[in-house]
Every structure is written in structure tokens, then in C-alpha cells.
Chains A and B, each alone.
Chain A
Amino acid sequence: MKIPVTLNVNGIAYELELAPSTTLLSAVRDAVGLTGAKEGCDDSECGACMMLLDGKPVNACSYLAAQADGREVTTVEGLADGGSLAPLQRAFLEHGGVQCGFCTPGMLISATALLEASPSPSEDEVRIALSGNLCRCTGYDGIVKAVLEVSRAGT
């Protein structure tokens, strides 16, 4: 059985036909075709699949796409403004917050959600907020510096 689901991903409406058990991650990667969000653990442990749902963070591997029907989904592809990278993306590049890159989309979404909720976090708050996002290259130092720089720049 398939059901109609409309996903508004990064401001564009996609009308899809999905099995009810389809996860939001699978819908966005396989049906919409945006592969920025990654499948890491597929178990809600690693945060590589993180997206924003109506502005709030969600581990998309563990959320039913049908529940996102009609709602606003933001993926890493939606962070840049046209050809211009978002401040967090630029800061990740400047601080070497990217190694293999697999965790980066989730990290960027997670950091975006953090700065939305708490615009001037302490280093400890940044580390705690991002500890639901695993980086197997253990490149946390550059990532944390990047987030702190953007938070300071914004205040």
C-alpha cells in the first residue's frame, strides 16, 4: 500500500507516493533525491541523518515520512542562500571542521538548531549539544571552534 505524502523540502513541495513505513530520511534521499543527509547508524544514535522539521531537529532515520506530510523540512542543501554558503558552513571550512565529511550535514543542521535555540552558547553547551552527532574522524575541535565563532559573530 502507498499513501500520498507532500514534503516541503527546502521550500519546494514534492508530491510523493510512499509506503507508510518509509522514513523521512529514505523519502528525502531516495524519492526527493537530496542525498546530503546521511544514513549512519539507522538507529538514532549518530545524528548523520539530522534534518529540521518545522525548524526543530529530527533524526530523520527514525521519523515516518508520512508524519512530515505538509510540514517544512530543511536539509543541509537548504542552508546556503543560493550560491552563498551559510555562516556556519563557511566557518566549518575555515576551521577545518570537515574531514571525511560524512557527519558534516548532520553537524551543520544540529549546530543550526542549537544557535536558533541558544544564540550565544558556551563551549560546554556546544559540546553537549553536538554530542548527539558522532564524528568518526574525531574532528570535534574544529567543529566546536566553527560553531563558537559563528555564535560570537552573531552577537
Chain B
Amino acid sequence: MTSAFVSAQSLDEALSALAGGARPVAGGTDLVVGARQGKNPLPESIVAIHRVEELRGLATSNGRLRLGALVTHQEIATHPAVRERLTALADASAIVGSHATRAQGTVGGNVMNASPAMELGGPLMVFGAEATLRSASAERRVPLTELLTGPGATSAAEDELLTAVEIPLPPDGSGSCYARLEYRRQMEIAVVGATAAVTLAGGTVEQARLAITALAPTIRLVPEAEEALVGSDAGAEAVQAAARAAARAAEPISDVRASADYRRAMAEVLARRVLTAAVARARGEATAIPASSALFGAAS
């Protein structure tokens, strides 16, 4: 039963509440839902952070995009620089929950809830995002790959608040894509998901990243897929080799949504589709955002 509630007016006030044992709430789309489902009761002490100005703001400067922790999925999905340069992130934000979830849910909540099926994790990982964590006494930066440690678990301390996520903008000639397998168009989470980011130079793959979603205890990168692609012409053979690597890297579970065998088989399919779409985008071909709708059920 929640016995203490404070609505922080500043970052300092929020951090001092965390130091006193309070847990943060922003859009409530995970914390309150989890409590209503009976998974986790609401915390004893809550600090609402939705009024904290320092946690807002979506802007690019010095070749980096900074997302304040309170930036909503709706803001991300509709932002021109995200759609143009970090397209996979727009793909992902555009399919979180429903438009109500996207209007209230935040990047900070999505990351710190640390679901292995979170939509934003794959794109943030392939783009090399770093989270800024602040406590009342210190600030540090942690790559997403080190922040996410297990289902619902992060390397952040209890008194640390994710204040922002920063992403280096990819060079020209880059393209990216996130897609998920889904049973429903909205209020859905990934059954299996994959994210690809590639950079082409003169038709050759210069850089490649592939991440898998809902296929392991955390979202994870697949280095073997990257090796299969770099230096190739991004043709069907290299894409297929990378997709097979994604399936090998998967350690899925069986649950009510899908069996482990099905998830592993679909890992290859999703990886192939997002790689193909990322390469097409890197070549300047216009494709719909979110990619998931276009790729859903598509033959390939």
C-alpha cells in the first residue's frame, strides 16, 4: 500500500526522494499496469517525475540525439530527425501500446522497466545509445548493452534515475529497421522482434548491427551477424547468413505467447526482413514507418 506520494518539481527534488527510498513514476503505463495486474504492488513511497522540466526535451546537437527521460513514444515516432536518421527507433516508438500508451509512456520508463520484449531496446542498442544515470551524489553514463542485465533488471542502483538517453547519429548512407511479430496491431508486445542498422559505402557494407528482441533474457546484439555482413554487398546470401546467426544467438523461452521453437524459427525470419528493409533504406528507398505493419505477413 502506497503511504507516501510526492510530485517532484525539480530534478534535485526527485533525486532526493529516490535517495529516501521512493520509486519513480512517469507515464504509469508499466508501474500502474503491473500493480493492477497484481504482478507487483505499487511501491510504499512514490515520486512522480512528470513535472520535472530537466527530464524533457528531444534535440540533436554535435551529431548526437538527446532524449530526455520524459520524452514520449509519440514525440519520438513523429520527430523528423528520428524518422530520417534513426528510423528503427521511429518504427519501434510508433507501435508501442496504443496511441494512449504512446502519449503517456516515456523512453525512461520503457528502458528502466527492462522488459526483454521492450520495443525501444533493440533500436537503442544497435545505435550505440548511452543512458545517463543520476543520483543525489553522482552522475554516470552507461551503454544500453551494460544497463540491461535481465528480465526487469538493470545495473542502475535504487537511488539512480535515468535522466536521458543519448544516441550518436549514424553517418550518411545508413539505414535501419525494427519490426516485431505480433498477434494484434495495438496494445501488443513483441512475440519476437529484430532490429538492423547498416551503413553502406559504394554498395559495400561498412558497418552493421543486429539486435534480437524477446528472444533472450535481455535484448542482445548478435556480433556474428555483423561479421557476416561487413564487407559484403548486402545481398541475399550475406543477409541469410546474418539471419541464421540471429537464430543461433537466440535463447528463447516458451510461454503463453509462443513456444521456444517457434520463436527461434521466427528469429531468422524477422532478422532477414529487418536487414532487407534496413539495406533498402540505406539505399534511399522510401519505406513506410512503422515497418512492422508493412513487413507483417509479407512474403520474403
Residues of A within 8 A of B (CB): 1, 3, 19-21, 23, 42-45, 47, 50, 53, 56-59, 61-64, 66-67, 69, 110, 113-114, 117, 127-129, 131-133
Contacts and interface: CB of A to CB of B under 8 A. Distances in A.
User: What is the interface residue range for chain B against chain A?
Assistant: 20 to 34
A61 B36 contact: yes
B153 to A, nearest CB: 22
A58 B29 CA distance: 9
Contact of B50 (A1, A19, A67): A67
Interface of B: 1-5, 7, 25, 27-29, 32-33, 35-37, 42, 46, 48, 50, 74, 97-101, 103-104, 184-187, 293
B100 A58 contact: yes
Nearest to A69: B7
Nearest to A133: B98
Nearest to A41: B36
A59 to B, nearest CB: 5
A39 to B, nearest CB: 10
Given A128-B186, A132-B187, A64 B25 contact: yes
B186 to A, nearest CB: 4
A146 to B, nearest CB: 18
A127 B293 CA distance: 13
Closest 3 CB pairs of A and B: A132-B98, A20-B5, A57-B100
22 contacts: A3-B5, A19-B2, A20-B2, A21-B42, A23-B32, A23-B36, A42-B36, A43-B37, A47-B98, A57-B99, A58-B100, A59-B104, A62-B28, A62-B32, A63-B104, A64-B25, A110-B99, A113-B99, A117-B99, A131-B98, A131-B185, A131-B186
Contacts of B46: 20, 64
A110 to B, nearest CB: 7
B238 to A, nearest CB: 34
A45 B187 contact: yes
Contacts of A64: 5, 25, 28, 32, 46, 48
A20 B42 CA distance: 10
Contacts of B186: 128-129, 131-132
- Centre residue among B5, B25, B42, B185 by max chain A CB count within 10 A: B5
- Centre residue among A56, A62, A63, A132 by max chain B CB count within 10 A: A62
Given A42-B36, A47-B98, A131-B184, 20 more contacts: A1-B4, A20-B2, A20-B46, A21-B42, A23-B36, A43-B36, A44-B36, A47-B187, A58-B103, A58-B104, A59-B100, A64-B32, A114-B99, A128-B186, A129-B99, A129-B186, A131-B98, A131-B186, A132-B100, A132-B187
DSSP majority for the A interface?
mixed
Nearest to B50: A67
Nearest to B27: A63
A18 to B, nearest CB: 10
A1 B46 CA distance: 13
Contact of B103 (A23, A56, A127, A133): A56
A106 B33 CA distance: 18
Nearest to A66: B5
A22 B189 CA distance: 26
A20 B29 CA distance: 16
Contacts of B42: 21
Nearest to A56: B103
Contacts of A133: 98
A117 B1 CA distance: 37
Contacts of B7: 66-67, 69
A101 B293 CA distance: 30
A132 B48 CA distance: 26
